[in-house]
Chains A and B, each alone.
Chain A
Amino acid sequence: MRRPYLRPIDRHWWAKPPYLAYTLREATGIAIAAYALVLMAGVICLALGRSAYDAWFGFIASQWSLALHAIFLIAMVFHAWTWFAIMPKTMPRLVVGGRYVEPQLITAAGIAIASLASLVLLLIARWVLP
């Protein structure tokens, strides 16, 4: 006789290996969105006037904000690292000169370009901003 039995899925699969790493990777999205909210708050305060903006900048200069942005920085770096690790998966298999290009090469190129881009932005900020 047949009586197939489907085991119910573990509702907490996302919190356990091997999926925990994936969940942590996705969690970087929270930090990126939170950083956007901080910037948005600044733009709103800017529109509201000098005293509102000074209050926002007062927060930015505070210890809480520095700690928060240190966390944002770690999240951004982790995001960039995992982003380029997964990027080759979204591309068709690159074939150059009849041979297949390994995804690790694409990842390494991405990380190199991102490092360069951030460095260039920092240098531009150093020299251009008042």
Chain B
Amino acid sequence: MKRSVAPVFWLMFGAGGMVAALFGPALVIITGLAVPTGLGLGTTTMDYAHAIVFARHPLGKLVLLVVISLFAWHGAERIYLTLKDMHLGPKPALAWLSYGSAGAVTFVTAAALLAVGL
């Protein structure tokens, strides 16, 4: 009997969902609200000088890659299933579009993190 390949995407959806559930609200507050407005954190916390130090550190790279990639894979699974529910296209096309985008995000982010250097 033919196994579905869905488990691969489901596990990544699960990992991304768990990280988002645990840390998502805090991450959005930090990077999108507190730092830009200076409320609770300094506006220079995310300026180029600090950001480059973070991104050059192996742990910083890991955090950025894990968060960005897992969030993308989580979103991809949900978007794929929702587009499928809405009958917005043939299933293979929707799958390639959704999962392909998450794959692209992962690849581009990894490449950019390498380009940033050490």
Contacts and interface: CB of A to CB of B under 8 A. Distances in A.
Direct contact of A and B (CB under 8 A): yes
Given A14-B86, A43-B55, A122 B112 contact: no
Given A14-B82, A14-B86, A29-B79, A38 B25 contact: no
A27 to B, nearest CB: 7
Chain B interface size band reads 35 or more
A118 B22 contact: yes
Contacts of B32: 35, 38, 60, 65-66, 68-69, 72-73
B16 A32 contact: yes
Contacts of A108: none
Interface residues of A, number: 55
Contacts of B69: 36
Interface of B is mostly: helix
Contacts, number: 176
A125 B30 CA distance: 8
23 contacts: A23-B85, A27-B82, A29-B77, A29-B78, A33-B74, A35-B32, A36-B105, A38-B32, A39-B31, A40-B68, A40-B72, A40-B112, A43-B68, A43-B113, A46-B48, A76-B27, A79-B21, A83-B20, A84-B21, A90-B14, A117-B26, A129-B50, A130-B44
A7 interface: no
B115 A47 contact: yes
Interface of A: 11, 13-14, 23, 26-30, 32-40, 42-44, 46-47, 50, 53-54, 57, 60-61, 65-66, 68-70, 72-73, 76-77, 79-80, 83-84, 90, 110, 113-114, 117-119, 121-122, 125-126, 129-130
B116 interface: yes
Given A11-B87, A66-B36, A84-B21, A43 B75 contact: no
Contacts of A130: 42, 44-45, 50
